[in-house]
Amino acid sequence: MPKSWLDRLELGLVLILSGFVFWPNAIPSICLISILGLRIIQQRKRAFPNGKEWWMLLPLLAILVSWIGFGFQQDGTREVQLWATWLAAFIYFKSSPFKSHFTKGFIFFSFAQAILVLAYFTLAEPLSSAGFSQSFRDTIERVFHVHPTFLSTAWMWAAFLAITQLNILWRNRLLLASVLILMAVLSGGRMPVIAGAIVLTIFSISQIQPLKYKVLASASIGLFFMANVLFNPLISQRFDELTSLSVDYTEGQLLTSTQLRLGIWKCSRLSIQDHWLLGVGTGNTREVLETCYHDYQQVEFFDTEFNTHNQYMHFWLTGGVFSFFAFIIFFGLIMSKAWKNKNYDLLYFYLFVGLIFLTENYFSRQFGMMFTSFFLFSFYYRKDQIS
């Protein structure tokens, strides 16, 4: 338990920070700044990582170099500012004694949020009227001001943490996880659900004993996943989109999420080919991509701001081949160190988020930056156990 009033204050702020998906962005940002200040006050120089660990800022360095090299583009300021969260998390979790409290708080807030959303659709807008359709996702974003794919990401990861981290009865872990997975599936985030299913399956095969429980757990995950693909309209509809993969759009055509992404990825690939060596600079990607979108003659590509929707391609398009390899090297070093140190929590997390990076550019979003940096550094520096 915290001994001093500073420790108690820090713990309280950490618990608030753990609900970053739940709160408006300003609240977790203020909490992060505050607890970082408390760490520095209490630890001074010891609060900072040692010289051998600064390679963990490679992604930030790549973004900064491409921003500076292309003349401090104004549109890049917003993206660069997000990396302050990465830097703060890197320093804070180095010496934080409350990493396990952060994880438990995240599970609690995620479960509470899932129950709140379920209660809303049960009482205020019953599922019979909202339906298992795009309107379900639209209502979540309108009422709770959170993108439903972000909720799917948070809830799937919270479900995994509930199963693997909490030291409570197995039936209680499974109950928590089941509610979280159900709500993640209903939110319609396809890639978070797939990534979560893969991570849970690998965990079941590698960690659960004896063999019959491995088979049971893996089969249950597989059946649950297939049942949703076949019978959950919100999920099956999104998988049905895979049967008509084409970027030959017609004027006035209403595009599906998959068709939009295919068009975005095609333009991202073509733009990378044209600027493969140095990229286009931090803050210039939207302008370059929109130039390509004009060829589609589809207004939907301009209804909102579409980035590359792929974290790997974003680094390449932003800073060229050097930026891309800086990110890949960083990714590889994290994975190799986690494997060498048998830090399975970090391995599972990076597998989970690494899969999501294929369809999302998380580092250009406040949620993605917080989610990735908080768990990356809390697991990387983790030495305590959750009880």
Residue 264 covered by a domain: no
Residue 387's pLDDT is what? 35
Average pLDDT, the chain: 87
Q: List Cβ neighbours of 158 (8 Å cut-off, separation of 6 or more).
A: 106, 107, 110, 111, 180
Q: Which domain holds residue 31?
A: 5-47+96-241+341-380
Question: Mean per-residue pLDDT for 4-31?
Answer: 93
Q: How does residue 78 score in pLDDT terms, banded at 50, 70 and 90?
A: very high
Q: Residues 144-158: pLDDT tens digits?
A: 888 899 999 999 999
Q: Residues 277-315: pLDDT tens digits?
A: 999 999 999 999 999 988 888 888 877 777 899 999 999
Residue 131's pLDDT is what? 46
| pTM of the predicted protein model | 0.91
Between 384 and 240, where is the model more confident? 240
Residue 73 covered by a domain: no
Residue 385's pLDDT is what? 38
Residue 168 covered by a domain: yes
| Number of folded domains that form the chain | 1
Q: Residues 198-237: pLDDT tens digits?
A: 998 888 888 777 776 667 767 777 777 676 666 665 566 6
Question: Mean per-residue pLDDT for 14-19?
Answer: 97
CA gap 273, 108 in Å, rounded: 45
Residue 35 covered by a domain: yes
Residue 75 covered by a domain: no
Residue 386's pLDDT is what? 40
Range with the poorest average pLDDT among 228-237, 333-342, 377-386:
228-237
Question: Mean per-residue pLDDT for 230-256?
Answer: 65
Residue 315's pLDDT is what? 96
Residue 240's pLDDT is what? 59
Q: In the predicted model, is pLDDT for residue 191 greater than 70?
A: yes
Residue 141's pLDDT is what? 85
Residue 328 covered by a domain: no
Residue 204 covered by a domain: yes
Question: Mean per-residue pLDDT for 16-29?
Answer: 94
CA gap 12, 187 in Å, rounded: 30
Q: Residues 347-366: pLDDT tens digits?
A: 999 999 999 999 999 999 99
Among 7-16, 181-190, 252-261, name the most confident range.
7-16
For the chain, give the percent of residues with pLDDT over 90.
57
Q: In the predicted model, is pLDDT for residue 171 greater than 70?
A: yes
Residue 254's pLDDT is what? 73
Residue 384's pLDDT is what? 43
Residue 88 covered by a domain: no
